[in-house]
Structure 1
Amino acid sequence: MSREASGRGSWRGRGWRGGGGWRGRPWRGNSRNPSTSKPGVSATTLDRLCPYKGWTLYFTEGFVESSLYVEKIKVFEQYFTSQIHLYDKDEIERQGSVLVDYKALTENTEVCMALPDLANQLREQPEISLNCLGLAIHQVLTLDLERHVTVLQGEGLPGGATPLINIPHISARLYNYEPLTALRMLRASVFGRLVCVRGTVVRVSNIRPLCTRLAFTCSGCSHTQSLTLTHGKFTMPTKCMQPECRSRSFVPNRSSPLTLTVDWQTIKVQELIGGEQREAGRIPRTVECHLTSDLCDSAVPGDTVTITGIVRVSQEDGSKGKKDKCMFLLYIEANSVSNSKGSCKRSSGIEFSLKELYAIQEIHSQPNLLKLIVHSLCPAIYGHLAVCNVAPRGIYVCGNTTSTSGLTVTLSREAGSGDYSLEAGALVLGDQGLCCIDEFDKLGQQQQALLEAMEQQTISLAKAGLVCSLPARTSVIAAANPVGGHYNRAKTVSENLKMGSALLSRFDVVFLLLDVPDESHDRKLSEHVMAVRSGKGGASSAMVTRDDIQSQHSLLEPVETPLSDRLQVCPGEYVDPIPPSLLRKYVGYARRYVHPSLSASAAQTLQEFYLSLRSHTHAADATPITTRQLESLIRLTELEKMGL
């Protein structure tokens, strides 16, 4: 009787707790027997005959010998085996990535014969191809480590222990990928393709953890299985892996060894706009890039980067927290990041072809190089020069519409996470380049933001709980109007411009462009204006009358003829201007490779000149002379010998 009562009570309890006798029985049994309470742990289903130990790290489907993936992996495995001496195996395992030269891979004879359509497959199906590359290098390192273990076992390991070979996930990072894709070409048609873009980093977020593979514990049988979270999107398992369990309730287990978490960071890249690519009336295009693992912290605001990655889409959040399921935002899932700041001290991301190098040599051999460059800067504009269009990296801002944050750096909060992110201003974006500021006298209090940048070549930001410093190695060219519209010769330069002496002393050279009535100049100016209004151009007159503007290029030449007269185009003389694209290459080449050194005699001359300037500082109306002026003299001397 007691057994029947016990049986009925047991049957009811099992049926009520599990929803059926067949559900409650295994659950009660596990709770009563501690020796069998240890849950089973398994990854995704995989054939035991698979020769690749890291297959589950790259593919979710099972191994099939006749799969096209296997054929591609074997080709890549042979390629990496032949190139293994070029790689540091310890560094690859530590970083979790390997750099793969796209040109060397696609131009390899054996690879081209086995995979003639490799370039198209990398472009159209990048995720599969990159996984095959990663698994191939993973297999090469695994086999190499197994051979090493076999050698150690032959020599005799202490205690007869056998080391466990467990190489983590290794990502294949492609570099030298071609062609470059302009940001304006990132449309819906390139979704899912491999692209390469180049631009300036304008915003960098904090690093956050991203779960790419998550373990789930079954609530019914306590069995643990892992599930790959594609693109970081949370997904629950649909059923338990145990055949006898029909439970559909799972609990995430973030502390399980099957859970994989990587570093994740977002950056915003803005397009590089050259003179011929400048579009009026359009803000620069930007694209968000997602960095993972070892790519995090590879760039700071202001860096020029080349990013190779896969174009993805994310769902856009609508207004008031509503999600529009039909609207998506394009972003790039970065595969590799190449930062130009690490390649050369003054590199600006410019590459030179053999034809351009010959053209640069031809330009340098011209007898009157300064005159040629002056008339090539912008022959269509009369008087003032658009220097930013010729500089390899130039930023233009206007003083009356610029804020302090727009010049330096902005600290903003991200929409979703609330974390702080840095957004670069004009001086940071012009790092290793040029920043032209018009209406400099109308900056007001914003002028104080330039003091640190022009002295220390950095921008510091100090907020509550956040202190950082960004590079701002930028040359500043400013144009200011005097108070009242006319220059008062009875006042100093600082009084005419309403500019403090601390800021004025940071400029290497200050030029006064006075509006002096000149019949010859005024006649040529009026002819140019009338020619432009009548549609006849007027470039020739502009070429003749732009010369006095450029007198700053050679102030130290001991000649009797004024520079403005030497730069004028004589009657019958023809000057063939250099195209802006080639002139930009010439300037970039000079900045990168030409670094003149100061000789002992030149240093002695500069020192004597500096001491003579210091001796005249006791006058009442004298400009203060400090060591900044000596540094300016050194820079001007180096510029004179750069060949420009």
Structure 2
Amino acid sequence: MKRSNHQSQDGSAASSVNISGVSSAKRRPPNRPIDVVRFPHWSVYFDGASEIYSDDHELAPAINAFTTYFFTIIDKYATEKKPIKPSLRVIAISYADLQSQCQLQDLSERLKLDPESVLASLGLAFSNALIEKFGDVVKRLKRHVRILGHDQITPLKDLKSNLMGRFITIRGTIVRVSSIKPIVTRISFSCTSCSATQVILQIDGKYKTPTSCPGDGCRGRTFVPERSGLSDTKTVDWQRIRVQEKLPEDQKDSGRIPRTVECELTEDLVDLIVPGDV
């Protein structure tokens, strides 16, 4: 089971992928470098002023390398007569396979230290591959890439504050699951003075309101959330689980109480496990 938290962006990874030209709807062979420098779905994955796209963005080489990798995945599924559809929103990939096929020198370290940007880059790359394969039928929505087989297990006793924002793997038994609830991730607010709208990200579900109006010359300071289905307000499914460590055989009869940790699941990860699962 994987658990990751938020962390600020760090330096870019070295890459042997060459970047030039602009994106093309024409399918490229998976063994050739991808020369995409414009990513149509960029704002879906990097939603914030700190991640404005530019042609020399530090993540561009990684996204292009991941796009090449997903071409091989799409071709593999097609060969096995399990074709990937353009509507697919979640895909699971092997950690070992990703490491061996991507041309990034420090992928393992980067995933560990900056999981948020790496996972977002993987999702964007998957969208890029679908766009180049299927064209305009690919809808503008967020896709998730789930990494399987990350074998660097972190014992529960080592879960300390120094691991905040890191990509880690824990192993244990599910002892409790909560009911599924909605959690808001972004809210569209409307200015009561000029009706201008703006979207505010709700980090970890904590309610946050705008501080100023984006309207020209408007000094409004009062905003109301838009709740209609046509607004940019977004909620996702949320669930909390409790994981209990598996004690070694030589400690099972020692009387020590197993450690537990609570984890939060969202979106496609909810409602997948029940108490007793490992």
Q: Normalising by the residue count of structure 2, what TM-score does the alignment of the two structures yield?
A: 0.78
SS of the aligned residue for 2:141 comes to coil
1:282 to 247, 251, 256: 256
Matched, 1:74 2:64: yes
Match of 1:200 in 2: 173
Q: Which runs of 5+ in 1 are unaligned?
A: 1-49, 150-162, 305-644
Q: From the superposition, tell whether residues 245 and 143 of structure 1 become closer, same or farther in structure 2 (CA, over 3 Å).
A: farther
SS of the aligned residue for 1:68 comes to coil
Match of 1:93 in 2: 87
| Equivalent residue pairs, number | 233
Larger Rg: 1
Match of 1:177 in 2: 150
How far has the Cα of 1:279 moved from its partner? Answer: 7.8
Match of 1:51 in 2: 38
Distance in 2 of aligned mates of 1:215 and 1:176: 38
Match of 2:110 in 1: 121
Match of 2:217 in 1: 244
Match of 2:34 in 1: none
Matched, 1:259 2:253: no
Q: From the superposition, tell whether residues 57 and 277 of structure 1 become closer, same or farther in structure 2 (CA, over 3 Å).
A: farther
Q: Deviations over 1:342-401 (max 9, x none)?
A: xxxxxxxxxxxxxxxxxxxxxxxxxxxxxxxxxxxxxxxxxxxxxxxxxxxxxxxxxxxx
Q: Which amino acid counterpart does residue 74 of structure 1 have in structure 2?
A: N
Distance in 2 of aligned mates of 1:279 and 1:216: 57
Match of 1:131 in 2: 120
What is the 5 A alignment of 1:16-415?
A: 51-59=38-46, 60=48, 61-87=51-77, 88-90=83-85, 93-94=87-88, 96-108=89-101, 111-112=102-103, 115-146=104-135, 165-255=138-228, 256-278=230-252, 280-304=254-278
SS of the aligned residue for 2:129 comes to helix
CA contact (8 A) 1:217 1:223 kept: yes
Q: Which amino acid counterpart does residue 108 of structure 2 have in structure 1?
A: A
Q: From the superposition, tell whether residues 125 and 287 of structure 1 become closer, same or farther in structure 2 (CA, over 3 Å).
A: same
Q: Which amino acid counterpart does residue 93 of structure 2 have in structure 1?
A: V
Q: Deviations over 1:79-115 (max 9, x none)?
A: 112221235433x735x2211211101112xx24xx2
CA contact (8 A) 1:98 1:171 kept: yes
Distance in 1 of aligned mates of 2:245 and 2:265: 18
How far has the Cα of 1:144 moved from its partner? Answer: 2.3
Specify which structure has the bigger relative contact order, considering alpha-carbon pairs within 8 angstroms and separated by 6 or more residues. Answer: 2
Aligned-residue identity in percent: 38
Q: Deviations over 1:307-351 (max 9, x none)?
A: xxxxxxxxxxxxxxxxxxxxxxxxxxxxxxxxxxxxxxxxxxxxx
How far has the Cα of 1:200 moved from its partner? Answer: 0.8
CA contact (8 A) 1:98 1:172 kept: yes
CA contact (8 A) 2:153 2:169 kept: yes
Q: Which amino acid counterpart does residue 84 of structure 1 have in structure 2?
A: I
CA contact (8 A) 1:73 1:132 kept: yes
SS of the aligned residue for 2:264 comes to strand
Q: Deviations over 1:526-576 (max 9, x none)?
A: xxxxxxxxxxxxxxxxxxxxxxxxxxxxxxxxxxxxxxxxxxxxxxxxxxx
Q: Which amino acid counterpart does residue 44 of structure 2 have in structure 1?
A: L
Q: Which amino acid counterpart does residue 231 of structure 1 have in structure 2?
A: D
Distance in 1 of aligned mates of 2:209 and 2:241: 29
Q: Which amino acid counterpart does residue 64 of structure 2 have in structure 1?
A: K
SS of the aligned residue for 2:235 comes to strand
How far has the Cα of 1:278 moved from its partner? Answer: 4.1
Distance in 1 of aligned mates of 2:272 and 2:254: 32
Q: Deviations over 1:554-606 (max 9, x none)?
A: xxxxxxxxxxxxxxxxxxxxxxxxxxxxxxxxxxxxxxxxxxxxxxxxxxxxx
How far has the Cα of 1:280 moved from its partner? Answer: 3.2
How far has the Cα of 1:282 moved from its partner? Answer: 2.9
SS of the aligned residue for 1:276 comes to helix
Q: Deviations over 1:502-547 (max 9, x none)?
A: xxxxxxxxxxxxxxxxxxxxxxxxxxxxxxxxxxxxxxxxxxxxxx
Q: Which amino acid counterpart does residue 241 of structure 2 have in structure 1?
A: I
CA contact (8 A) 2:63 2:124 kept: yes
Q: Which amino acid counterpart does residue 110 of structure 2 have in structure 1?
A: Q
Distance in 1 of aligned mates of 2:168 and 2:87: 26
Q: Normalising by the residue count of structure 1, what TM-score does the alignment of the two structures yield?
A: 0.35
Distance in 1 of aligned mates of 2:127 and 2:142: 8
Distance in 1 of aligned mates of 2:254 and 2:227: 51
Following TM superposition, the consecutive aligned residue runs of length 4 or more in structure 1 with deviations greater than 4 angstroms are: none
**Alignment RMSD (CA, Å):** 1.9
SS of the aligned residue for 1:85 comes to helix
Q: From the superposition, tell whether residues 277 and 64 of structure 1 become closer, same or farther in structure 2 (CA, over 3 Å).
A: farther
CA contact (8 A) 1:93 1:170 kept: no
SS of the aligned residue for 1:251 comes to strand
Q: From the superposition, tell whether residues 199 and 293 of structure 1 become closer, same or farther in structure 2 (CA, over 3 Å).
A: same
